[in-house]
Amino acid sequence: MENKPVIKIEGALYTDFSGIKRLFNFYHLANEYSNTTIFIDFFDLVWFDANLSAILGAILHKLSIENNLSFSTDLNFLETKFDVLFRNGFLNSSNVSIDDRKSTVAFKNFKLDDKSGFISYIEDDLMVHRGLPVLSDNQKDNIIESLIEVYCNIQIHSKADYDFFVCGQYYPSKNILIFTILDLGIGFLPAIMEKTHNKIQTSYEAIKWALLKKNTTKVNCPGGIGLYDLHSYFLTSGDMQIISGDTYWSISMDKTLMGKHTFQNPFVGAIINLCFSI
């Protein structure tokens, strides 16, 4: 660790505004460096929702490319305290077995043109997972088609130069499976602002616009059903979160007077968290 900058990730990181904000803060701290190796100090980490591996993985990917950074940590500590990060494929170790608990949906990153790989992952990893609620064939088809449209939006509108990232985790004590998908693009607002001729001016307004049926920024092709159908499903079961620009929005927050949270130090792109409840 001599001469290496050290950045801590500590406390309890859940799939909520606070947990995601801590990962964004890690990004901004690490972004101050270039051409070096950063030691990530996990020693005071209490809890880490394993689906957040998608966010941390995307952050490390972006920093490695743009800042020429590499990262190290105490793998022995993580093997002992957070072996889920090995079981889901985020980290590799010969000392930790494959996910024999069958609680993870594997950490993956996909090229923007790898539609077939993404569809296979959704069908073979996510939709057959034991943590999903009992779904009708129609519900399964709608969720798969909705996620394919989310992929298409990433491919067409995110203007991302990098891979997009996915990961999921089943929490048996809560009877919840959370699936995270993240891209490193420009977020919801720019394309929606252009589509609406500047009527939409904030990331919060852009998220709300994107959830309405048949609202789409695609030109001369159908769209606007994916997020609408996902929103419709999670209105009655579980929860759904969207993070884009400076805005954290969720169905559960939308039912309160607050409606959203605002990041002082936002990241890039868009994050969608799907919280399936049994």
pLDDT by residue (tens digit) across 71-88?
Answer: 999 999 999 999 999 999
Rg over CA atoms, the chain: 18
Q: In degrees, to the nearest 5, what angle opens at C-alpha 55 toward C-alphas 53 and 58?
A: 105
**Above 60 in pLDDT, residue 105?**
yes
- Looking at residue 220, its pLDDT comes to 37
Amino acid 213: pLDDT: 77
- What is the rounded average pLDDT of the residues 138-142? 95
Question: What pLDDT sits at residue 223?
Answer: 46
In Å, what is the CA distance from 141 to each residue of 74, 167, 198, 216? 42, 20, 35, 20
The share of the chain scoring above pLDDT 70, in percent, equals 93
Per-residue confidence (pLDDT) for residue 216, from 0 to 100:
52
- CA-to-CA dists, residue 171 to 15, 59, 102, 109, angstroms: 12, 24, 11, 22
**What is the average pLDDT value for the chain, to the nearest integer?**
92
Q: Letter for the amino acid at 175?
A: N
| 57-75 CB burial, b ≥16 within 10 A, e <16 | bbbbebbeeebebeeeeeb
Q: What is the pLDDT, as a whole number, of residue 259? A: 84
Task: Show me where the domains of the chain are located.
Answer: 6-91+103-277
Which of 3.30.56.10, 3.40.50.10260, 3.30.565.10, 3.40.50.720 is the CATH number of 6-91+103-277? 3.30.565.10
pTM above 0.75, yes or no: yes
* Tokens representing residue 15 in the block: 């799939």
Q: Map residue 64 onto helix, strand or coil.
A: helix
Name the residue with higher pLDDT: 68 or 257: 68
Helix (H) or strand (E) holding 247: strand 247-250
According to DSSP, the β-strands at 45-48 and 260-262 are: unpaired
**pLDDT, tens digit (0-9, with 9 covering 90-100), for 207-248:** 999 999 765 544 433 344 689 999 999 999 999 999 999 999
- With tokens 């394993």, the residue in question is 50
In tens, the pLDDT along 4-58 reads 899 999 999 999 999 999 999 999 999 999 999 999 999 999 999 999 999 999 9
pLDDT confidence of residue 221: 38
CA distances from residue 158 to 153, 188, 191, 198, 206 in whole angstroms, order as listed: 7, 8, 9, 18, 14
